[in-house]
Amino acid sequence: MFKRKECVAMLLAGGQGSRLYTLTEKTAKPAVPFGGKYRIIDFPLSNCVNSGIDTVGVLTQYQPLVLNEYIGNGQPWDLDRSSGGVMVLPPYQAKDGAAWYKGTANAIYQNLNFIERYDPEYVLILSGDHIYKMDYSAMIAYHKEKGADCTIAVFDVPITEASRFGIMNTDDTGRIVEFEEKPRQPKSTHASMGIYLFNAKLLTEYLVRDEADSASSNDFGKNIIPTMLAEGKRMYAYAFSGYWKDVGTIKSLWDANMDLLGEYPTYDLYDRHFRIYSRTPALPPQYIGEESVVHNAIISEGNDICGTVENSVLFSGVTVEAGAVVRNSVVMSGCTVKSGATVSYAILDEDVVIDSGAIVGAIAAEGEEQEIAVVGNGVHIRAGDIVAMGEMLGAAEYAKKQGGNEV
């Protein structure tokens, strides 16, 4: 017997995040580190917990090792529960064969048995691609108030950018009358955030029908939502106005990290009423040396900073030696920037070493667009090497650049 739950959340975490290139070579996008100690998935998971949702299925597919290890028993998010809690749901083999998750809707379809255990009133569909703080319980209250079949969270984007999003056109009451995927001529600015709340029974019905349709691409945005709309279901847009950022590209990931800095940051990590939880290793405190200069930076535990760090986000266990300079960059766990090296406008993935005299990234010349250099997991950039602005160097690319030498 399972305790009945009002709402079960299903978190789609199987995406590759191919536009993050080398950063997602070995990890799924939701496991990409963010903000000095977090991973992207901490945000939707913490939102769930802060919204009183204690049953979360995490659907994994692409490179799940790091993600599985990270989620573990869910203890950091207080999701190690005897009833509910967090459950990783990978694709599996069944009596009539095995199948990968064909699309977002199919992933949920294949795990209807997980949802049914809790016999919920509502199912909340989330993605692991965004940085935001949101109280889903307010969305559920709105859904109930409207007597909706489905509620979709929307975010107002500038009209000039609206054609990059799925746009929900609504009437005065907030009811969705039309859905347009990436419209050329957008009629409104309500962009779908990829957060869907469904009445559970209705969702099951639609997922079963969708699965039976061999022409369907089994996707929420492409199939389920348009079909429901076409059949006149009560669908409402729930307007969200806080901070929300898609971190699907190198530039947007870098931007979102930079949003944490400044005197009045766009996104405040220090809000104790709405904490973002994460798995935290026990590391010694950060040491800031005698000659160091640290301005406008987020610095984590286990760091040893003796050089200059400005406008940057440093994860745990990072060493910046005396005479090294890190500016406008994101430096992930375990990196070492040696004396005399310079890192600017760059993202260093975990365990990167930058030798003395190497230069990674650069500020754009006037009139040129600023691009971010990326150094992949574990790459050791040798003395005197230069990684140009916007260059992406995984281990393989760096070996090639070095003329096939081992890195």
Task: Catalog residues that contact another protein under the rule CB under 8 A.
Answer: 35-37, 75-76, 260-263, 269-270, 275-278, 280-292, 294-301, 309, 313-316
The CB-of-36 to another protein minimum distance in angstroms stands at 3
The CB-of-247 to another protein minimum distance in angstroms stands at 17
* Tokens coding 253: 């990931």
The CB-of-47 to another protein minimum distance in angstroms stands at 15
Q: Which is nearer to another protein, 42 or 210 (CB)?
A: 42
CA angle centred on 9, ends 101 and 233, rounded to 5°: 85
* Tokens coding 20: 């993050």
8 A C-beta contact, residue 140 and residue 249: no
What are the DSSP calls for 2-65, one per residue? ----SEEEEEE-----GGGGGGGSSS-GGGSEETTTEETTHHHHHHHHHTT--EEEEE--SS-H
The CB-of-105 to another protein minimum distance in angstroms stands at 34
Which candidate, 317, 310, 312, places its Cα nearest to that of 292? Answer: 310
Which candidate, 401, 379, 279, places its Cα nearest to that of 25? Answer: 379
Q: Which is nearer to another protein, 72 or 384 (CB)?
A: 72
Residue 241 CB neighbour total at 10 angstroms: 7
What are the DSSP calls for 248-261, one per residue? -SHHHHHHHHHTT-
The CB-of-319 to another protein minimum distance in angstroms stands at 11
Q: Which is nearer to another protein, 192 or 278 (CB)?
A: 278
Q: How far is CA 174 from CA 142, 154, 234, 359, in A?
A: 11, 11, 10, 52
The CB-of-265 to another protein minimum distance in angstroms stands at 8
The CB-of-369 to another protein minimum distance in angstroms stands at 25
Q: Which is nearer to another protein, 313 or 325 (CB)?
A: 313
Distance CA 341, CA 82 (A): 50
Q: Which is nearer to another protein, 304 or 397 (CB)?
A: 304
Q: Which is nearer to another protein, 167 or 332 (CB)?
A: 332
Q: Which is nearer to another protein, 211 or 310 (CB)?
A: 310
